[in-house]
Amino acid sequence: MKALNLYGIQDIRCEETSEPVITAPDDVIIKVKAAGICGSDISRFNKLGPYIEGMTFGHEFAGEVVEVGADVERVRKGDKVAGCPAFYCGVCLSCQKGEFSQCEKLTVIGARHPGSYAEKVKLPEENVIKIPEQVDFDTAALLEPAAVVAHGFYKTNVKPGDTVAVMGCGSIGLLAVQWARIFGAKTIFAIDIDEAKLEAAKELGADVLVNSLEGLPHEKILEHTNGVGVNLAVESAGSPITSAQIFALPKKGGEVVFLGIPYADITIERFYFEKIVRNELSVFGSWNGVSSPFPGREWDAAMYYMGTGQIQSGPMINHRYSLDEGPKVFDDLFHRRGGHIKVLFYPET
């Protein structure tokens, strides 16, 4: 079968790869219909390289079951499904407490197991989530990042009537805008430097758009909140700059949740750092999107809201490619060409 394999930094190749085969009684083999590029994939391509040279890359996807192991009961051939890509050890202290996102050996397909940038992928049955009929493959391919964002929101105390600011309107930020509305936010601020991404945020429910090229984000937020700030600020850009600026957005006693991953050192000016102390902020780190019982309530909730239409993919997905185009796509992403927001691969094309 055809697959995108990562060999080194900025070295990804589309090539023929062996198809997955059933080796355990709970194995499920899935024909991939749509696979999304994660921001972490771009960083690994750009700067970090593979965990294992030549590993089939990718971990966000949806598809159709084509083969199952002898003990599989919940899904059968022909079912529409998405996949939770995470593997946990089950024996470390975090796993014993059901905190699977904190597992000492947490990994995902595309890292140490063959990933979803391929015509077929294999997962254990417990990692497979059935897709409701009304949810298309494009939307279901965003189930993993939607669960990641839900995982972060569940850590906070956000409630109906609150104000929420989302810093960074890539795919994680655009999902955060939608989760903020689901959690009942009355006013949602979307902050970015890209007008196209801000327009997508507006289409997905943001009330106030802030282009931070036109002024410091906290000044704009204070203008719209009568000098108070927001209840919750979500850092989803993963930038060293925004990772400092985020602390100036919440009100006194407010909250910050970090969803972005800044693959660089962060220097925080005194002005921003003092906000944590003087405003008595609660700051949450959020990693991955799995919990107990595995894969967790994040996945059930995300699929439910995809089914109701409250989590949409249309305004987010602005580029679709075949696997053959993969090396050029990653090169374009590395050089920031093409105005990509969310990119999908269609392995069958």
Reported as type and span, the H/E element at residue 65 is strand 60-68
Residue 276 inside a domain? The answer is yes
Residue-level pLDDT at 338: 82
Do 274 and 160 lie in a common domain? Answer: yes
Domain that holds residue 163: 147-285
Report which of 204, 80, 66 is spatially closest to residue 134, judged by C-alpha positions. Answer: 80
Do 36 and 19 lie in a common domain? Answer: yes
Do 155 and 96 lie in a common domain? Answer: no
Final residue of a domain: which of 269, 285, 301? 285
Residue 156 inside a domain? The answer is yes
Residue 188 inside a domain? The answer is yes
Specify whether the CB–CB gap between 188 and 207 falls below 8 A.
Answer: yes
Residue 304 inside a domain? The answer is no
Tokens at 272, concatenated:
């921003």
Residue 137 inside a domain? The answer is yes
Q: Averaged in consecutive runs of 10 residues, what is the pLDDT profile of the chain (349 residues)?
A: 97 98 98 96 92 98 98 98 98 98 98 98 98 97 98 98 98 98 98 97 98 96 98 96 98 97 91 98 97 98 98 95 97 89 94
Residue-level pLDDT at 263: 81
CA dihedral 252, 286, 220, 218 (to 10 degrees): 50
Residue-level pLDDT at 244: 97
Report which DSSP code applies to 118. Answer: B
Phi, psi of 11 (to 5 degrees): -135, 90
Q: How many domains is the chain built from? A: 2
Label residue 63 exposed, middle or buried (CB < 10 Å: 0-12, 13-18, 19+): buried
Residue 113 sits in a domain whose CATH number is 3.90.180.10
Q: Where are the alpha helices (DSSP H) in 279-347?
A: 297-308, 326-334
Do 15 and 129 lie in a common domain? Answer: yes
